[in-house]
Amino acid sequence: MIAESLRKIQQELPEICTLVAVSKTHPASVVLEAYLAGQRHFGENKVQEMVDKWEALPKDIHWHLIGHLQSNKVKYIAPFVQLIHAVDSTKLLEEIDKRAAQNERKIAVLLQMKIAEEETKFGATASEIEEMASAIEGGKYPNIVWKGLMGMASFTDDESQVRREFKSLKNLFEQLKSRYPEIDTLSMGMSGDYPLAIAEGSNMVRVGSAIFGARG
Ligand SMILES: *Cc1c(COP(=O)(O)O)cnc(C)c1O
């Protein structure tokens, strides 16, 4: 079942697009099933759950923290996290930089832009992102590697709205990339909207229920 869904989704993705299998709420045994089918990138939104799975599962899994992250929890994932997707404040950048240094590694991050027209709590404005980007690139956080942007579209059936939101993220990404050519990751698209996200230029999708089924 899982192997079949993974294969089907993978076939729809351009080669440059990374599939992050969002395994939140599903037990380690289910993650292992996907791993045995060849999947290596997994996404979680809760720190404790990600730590438990990291401890239980093969060490060549790339763990992505995709949800909102509280500063006081960065220390638990700092030793192993592959990519933190939802960075939206300098407070969080400071903490990630500090914990990366303590672990003698660099930690890769995406800056999360608030693109949804609907009310959401998390994500930064374009100008806040530009400020964070210039601080990182100016050397303020030497233990952080800034890889690109992440965003979540509104939960709506209105396709033109979702496209508009993805376009705004892609636009900012292209602007920043012209200034900072080393950024290469645009994380957008979930089970309900990843085909639209890919059409709008995503190169990393975060897909959960379309692989693992509905969460309980
Ligand atoms: C849960 C979650 C996803 C995956 O959602 P699905 O609709 O199950 O694909 C993607 N991104 C974030 C930030 C999430 O929290």
The tens place of each residue's pLDDT in the chain, 216 residues long, gives 899 999 999 999 999 999 999 999 999 999 999 999 999 999 999 999 999 999 999 999 999 999 999 999 999 999 999 999 999 999 999 999 999 999 999 999 999 999 998 887 799 999 999 999 999 999 999 999 999 999 999 999 999 999 999 999 999 999 999 999 999 999 999 999 999 999 999 999 999 999 999 987
C-alpha 59 to ligand 1 mean position (Å): 23
Q: Atom 7, ligand 1: which residue's CA is nearest?
A: 191
| Ligand 1: lining residues by beta carbon, under 6 Å | 22, 24, 45, 66-67, 152, 190-192, 206-210
Q: In sequence order, what DSSP letters do the residues of 35-83 get, joined into one string? A: HHTT--EEEES-HHHHHHHHHHS-TT-EEEE-S---GGGHHHHTTT-SE
Q: Atom 11, ligand 1: which residue's CA is nearest?
A: 206
C-alpha 137 to ligand 1 mean position (Å): 29
- Give the three-state DSSP class for 94: helix
User: CA 13, 51, 109: angle at the middle one, nearest 5?
Assistant: 50
Whole-model pTM above 0.85? yes
Residue whose CB lies within 8 A of the most ligand 1 atoms, among 20, 22, 212, for a mutation test: 22
Q: Which atom of ligand 1 is nearest to the CA of 209?
A: 8
Angle between helices 28-36 and 47-56 (to 10 degrees): 60
C-alpha 152/C-alpha 81 separation (Å) is 21
Q: Which atom of ligand 1 is nearest to the CA of 45?
A: 15
